[in-house]
Amino acid sequence: MNILRTIGAAAALATATLTAGAVWAADYPSKKITVLIGYNAGGGTDTIGRVLFEEMKETLGQQITVVNMPGAASSVAALKLKMAKPDGYTLMLAPSSAVATNQVWNPNAKYEVDDFTMIGAVASYQPAFAAPMDRPYDTFAEFVEWARENPGAKVATITPASKVQMELVAQKEGLELNFVPVKGGAGMIAGLLGGDFDVAYSGGAHQKYPDQIKTLAAAGRDRLAASPDVMTMDEYGYMSSYGSALALVGPAGLPEDVVATLEAALLEAGRTESVREVMGNLDFPAKETGAADLTEEAKAAYEAELELHKAATATN
Amino acid sequence: MIDAFFAPLAAGFASIAEFWTLLYICFGVAVGYTVGAIPGLGKGTATAVLIPVTFYLEPVAAIGLLIGIAKGSTAGSAISAILMNTPGEPSSAATAFDGYPLAQQGKAGKALKMGLYASVIGDLLSTLCLIALAAPLAQFALEIGPVEQFAILLFSLTFIGALAGKSLVKGLIAGTLGLLVATVGMEIETAVPRFTFDRLELFDGVPLIPVAIGMMAVSEMMLQMANHRALDRQVAEIRISSRPEDSRVTGADWRRCLPAIFRGTGIGVFVGILPGLGASVASFMSYGATARMSKTPERFGKGAIEGVAASESADNAVVPSSFVPLFALGIPGSVIAAILISAFVIHGITPGPMMFVEDAEIVQSLYAAMIVASFALLGIGLVGQSFFAWVIRSPMRVIAPAVLFFCVIGSFMQGGGLFGIGLMVLFAVLGVLAKKLDFSFVTFLIGFVIGPSLELTLRQSIPLLDRDIANLAQHPVAAVFIGLTIVLIAIMALAEIRRRNRASRRSETPLSLKATGRNT
């Protein structure tokens, strides 16, 4: 079954590349490009996107329209993209986790990594575990000790993956934690500033408050660009989640030369001063990833998240 | 103190006293007012379209334009709510409860003007609060944690009692159904989808606009079109009343509405500074509170002018006050504040406490721009209303299909495409049944609007209180509100029991039958 599907996909890909490639080779893009963004206007992804596309418009010589399609952490937009024609005129800007790991947690996100063509990424997200400044611990190890002596520490999580991460810590160390669900970054920051939470998962917005919020650990595999001295969860001996990048994605079977054109335009736009400035203001560290690397990363992220999911279901 | 307040503001006014800046602010208000009045086009659409335009503007002009859209659309959405029973923005759904009955009584002019005045007063007072008290208000907002928010939301559910109409039990049933519909969507902690029937569109909950449009406007049109004779009578009724006092706001109206406006402004400011609740919660809370405090709650839903004032003052007051956490802490308090963050960042300003130090001049200019926008709203609103008056001059046979057309467009745009239209039809059928069986769709919508925030804060409160109700002692504000809720419910229950006793004595029906039987 699996082999059949792979062969089928490969065949479809080959046909699509052959037929489409021949037609589109020289004149792409010849009309307006639509980019789906799976969040409301005004979020980090949307803001960077709008500046990014201003620059890409110059290089590509075509208009780029943004369509905001919020829902289920970009999964609604991803499903829409999956159904789009792979001609390079419908794309999506999203955290790579939207196409790589959402489907692990959300049974209705009915797609696989292979349903998409990775084009490239210009920035990385900075997930971390953070705490209010007045708490007596400064590192994640100190927090674990504190939580052992003070059962019922309040842990705020946004994503299911971040909750599983902390559950695994609690299980390993025999901690008694109180999990507080939070919707979105604004509630998270308000809770940290108000001192309601002892530890909170943050997508990166907490970096703007160095006087009120401290970073205990990087939640992803890599250390944070904003605080390189803070150790990762891996380094503390716990499970890290896979990092996510701000990626431009197309439907499966996008012709190679279209990918190459878009990849070059995207990475070039990512290097411009205006984009760098906006990314700096939003605490998105610039990190270039090409199409090939991004595809590898997305697949690795999927496998890693699947493991996290298995560990979580094993405990419950 | 007074000097410290006015001197920077004067500098701000001086810096925006330039033709193009003022023009962009007024342009924003005008665009906002228009898109707000047209169901289907919201401030979200307008700002998304105009953000690229603001790339080429000075920061103050750009942000003034966006603030103008926010203020204008919040006020403009009252027009379609009053004239067509179709709220242009979710937060104006509560305006339609009494605004549309007023329009049917020939008092559309009065309702529109009162709505606009309430919007402008709420907006201006809230802007002044932002200017004078941003930092202390933001600090206060941080003290109102999830536990306190839960207690306040719970308290606001008791407003259902005042809005239930003839039957408290039916009102409670409708309110509970609203809470039930609010649970649709992804469960917050485990991401388990609830009642979504595998529809991805329902993952973030049932969208408010198709529900409100379906229950209010479409069901109304269906009932009217089902009865041709009544339709022809409607034609006569919907016309502007010949009495001049029905088209303007009289002194008696002001006396009725001013308390509602001030209460609405207070509620709007309070809700705005708390991230995540939003303008709809504020307008429903304010509407409910006004009905609750009214000596004649039975007038609500049948054309009580203070209902319009309560809802419109509250939702417009949310707009400036939702900038309090944005300016003071860098946290967006509303969707429009989130869009503003994007505009700030694009123009190289990082919203947050440092803004007052690093970009003090821009902050002053923005404050001045916001005050200008409030007054522009008044002027543009008065002019705009005479434009929209054609709606009331048209015969009902023309209005009904046009309203249905806008209903469909609005549901399509803000409900996730065709799915939104399906949802609208479903809730239109429910709305017809509710009206025929005399269930209140007002209490349904209150439950539906407050439900998601209520659930989230309850789920947060339980772990924050360490699963022990005794810990409520550490949250005195929450304890007081929960106490008030219990007292209010007890009072309502006693009143209901007494009413039934009286009724049964009068009709000499055995009490047992009356208690279990239908309650009319």
What does the pLDDT look like over A83-107, one tens digit per residue? 888 888 889 998 888 888 878 877 7
User: What is the pLDDT at residue B497?
Assistant: 87
CATH number of the domain where residue A95 is located: 3.40.190.150
Q: Note whether A53 and A163 are same-domain residues.
A: no
| A232: DSSP letter | B
In a domain, A275, yes or no: yes
Whether residue B142 and residue A68 make contact (CB cut-off 8 A), yes or no, is no
Q: Note whether A13 and A68 are same-domain residues.
A: yes
Band of the pLDDT at A16, cuts 50, 70, 90?
very low
Q: Note whether B105 and B230 are same-domain residues.
A: yes
For tokens 């504000």, what's the residue?
B477
Please give the residue that has the higher pLDDT: either B185 or B161. Answer: B185
Give how many domains chain B has, as a whole number: 2
Nearest Cα of chain A lies from the Cα of B333 at a distance, in angstroms, of 8
In a domain, A232, yes or no: no
User: What is the pLDDT at residue B297?
Assistant: 83
**DSSP-derived 3-state class of residue A34:** strand
User: What is the pLDDT at residue B44?
Assistant: 67
- The b-or-e profile of A165-200 (16+ CB within 10 A means b, else e) is bbbbbbeeeebebbbbbbbebbbbbbbbbbbbbbbb
Q: Note whether A6 and A111 are same-domain residues.
A: yes
**DSSP-derived 3-state class of residue A39:** coil
In a domain, A237, yes or no: no
Q: Note whether B481 and B340 are same-domain residues.
A: no
Q: Note whether B425 and B495 are same-domain residues.
A: no
Most confident of A12-16, B234-238, B395-399, B497-501: B497-501
In a domain, A293, yes or no: yes
Sorted by sequence, the CB contacts under 8 Å of residue B86 that are 6+ apart come out as B39, B80, B96, B213, B216, B217, B403, B406, B407, B410
Most confident of A235-239, B176-180, B332-336, B356-360: B176-180
Q: Which helix (H) or strand (E) holds B194?
A: strand B193-194
- Answer with the one of B421, B446, B464 that is the final residue of a domain: B464
Q: Note whether A258 and A116 are same-domain residues.
A: yes
Tally DSSP H helices, then E strands, for chain A.
11, 11
Mean of the per-residue pLDDT values of chain A: 81
Q: Note whether B59 and B165 are same-domain residues.
A: yes
For tokens 């909950």, what's the residue?
B205
Q: Note whether A135 and A148 are same-domain residues.
A: yes
Q: Which of residues 266-295 of B touch A (CB under 8 A)?
A: 275-276
- Answer yes or no: is pLDDT of B42 > 80: no
Whether residue B335 and residue A40 make contact (CB cut-off 8 A), yes or no, is yes
Asked if the C-beta of B329 comes within 8 angstroms of chain A's C-beta atoms, the answer is yes
Q: Note whether A174 and A254 are same-domain residues.
A: no
Band of the pLDDT at B2, cuts 50, 70, 90?
low
Please give the residue that has the higher pLDDT: either B508 or A193. Answer: A193
- Max CA pair span of chain A: 68
In a domain, A224, yes or no: no
Give the separation between CA B421 and CA B415, rounded to whole angstroms: 7
User: What is the pLDDT at residue A24?
Assistant: 46
In a domain, A234, yes or no: no
| B297: DSSP letter | G
Whether residue B198 and residue A108 make contact (CB cut-off 8 A), yes or no, is yes
Q: Note whether B370 and B501 are same-domain residues.
A: no
Q: Which of residues 41-60 of A touch B (CB under 8 A)?
A: 41-43, 46-47, 50-51, 54
- Answer yes or no: is pLDDT of B434 > 80: yes
Q: Note whether A26 and A119 are same-domain residues.
A: yes
Overall average pLDDT of the B282-310 stretch? 89
Q: Which domain holds residue A84?
A: 2-124+243-315
Give how many domains chain A has, as a whole number: 2
Whether residue A186 and residue B331 make contact (CB cut-off 8 A), yes or no, is yes
Q: Which domain holds residue B248?
A: 2-464
Q: Note whether A106 and A86 are same-domain residues.
A: yes
Amino acid present at B509: T
Q: Which of A163-177, A293-307, B382-396, B460-474 has the lowest mean pLDDT?
A: B382-396
| B439 within 8 A of B173, measured Cβ to Cβ | yes
Q: Note whether A109 and A134 are same-domain residues.
A: no
Give the separation between CA A219 and CA A10, rounded to whole angstroms: 35
Whether residue A54 and residue B456 make contact (CB cut-off 8 A), yes or no, is no
Q: Note whether B332 and B470 are same-domain residues.
A: no
Give the separation between CA B92 and CA B101, rounded to whole angstroms: 15
- Answer yes or no: is pLDDT of A14 > 50: no
Q: Note whether B210 and B285 are same-domain residues.
A: yes
Which of B464, B465, B474 to probe the A interface (max A CBs under 10 A)? B464
Please give the residue that has the higher pLDDT: either B239 or A182. Answer: A182
The H-assigned helical ranges of B144-213 are 146-157, 160-163, 168-182, 208-212
| A13 within 8 A of A83, measured Cβ to Cβ | no
In a domain, A229, yes or no: no
Q: Note whether B198 and B329 are same-domain residues.
A: yes
Band of the pLDDT at A142, cuts 50, 70, 90?
very high
Q: Note whether A114 and A136 are same-domain residues.
A: no
- Answer with the one of B464, B491, B508 that is the final residue of a domain: B464
Mean of the per-residue pLDDT values of chain B: 82
User: What is the pLDDT at residue B308?
Assistant: 94
User: What is the pLDDT at residue A15?
Assistant: 46
Asked if the C-beta of A106 comes within 8 angstroms of chain B's C-beta atoms, the answer is yes
Q: Note whether B410 and B482 are same-domain residues.
A: no
CATH number of the domain where residue A193 is located: 3.40.190.10
Nearest Cα of chain B lies from the Cα of A194 at a distance, in angstroms, of 5
Band of the pLDDT at B228, cuts 50, 70, 90?
low
Q: Note whether B150 and B278 are same-domain residues.
A: yes
Q: Note whether A193 and A293 are same-domain residues.
A: no
Band of the pLDDT at B229, cuts 50, 70, 90?
low
Q: Which of residues 459-488 of B touch A (CB under 8 A)?
A: 459-460, 463-464, 466-467
In a domain, A54, yes or no: yes
User: What is the pLDDT at residue B230?
Assistant: 60
Nearest Cα of chain B lies from the Cα of A121 at a distance, in angstroms, of 20
Residue from B102, B163, B130, B76 nearest B387 by CA: B76
Give the separation between CA B481 and CA B144, rounded to whole angstroms: 12
| A64 within 8 A of A56, measured Cβ to Cβ | yes
Q: Note whether A201 and A116 are same-domain residues.
A: no
Q: Any idea of the CA torsion for A286, A289, A291, A295, to the nearest 10 degrees? A: -110
Q: Which residues of B touch A68 (CB under 8 A)?
A: 44, 48
pTM of the predicted protein model: 0.78
Q: Note whether B89 and B156 are same-domain residues.
A: yes
Q: Note whether B377 and B519 are same-domain residues.
A: no
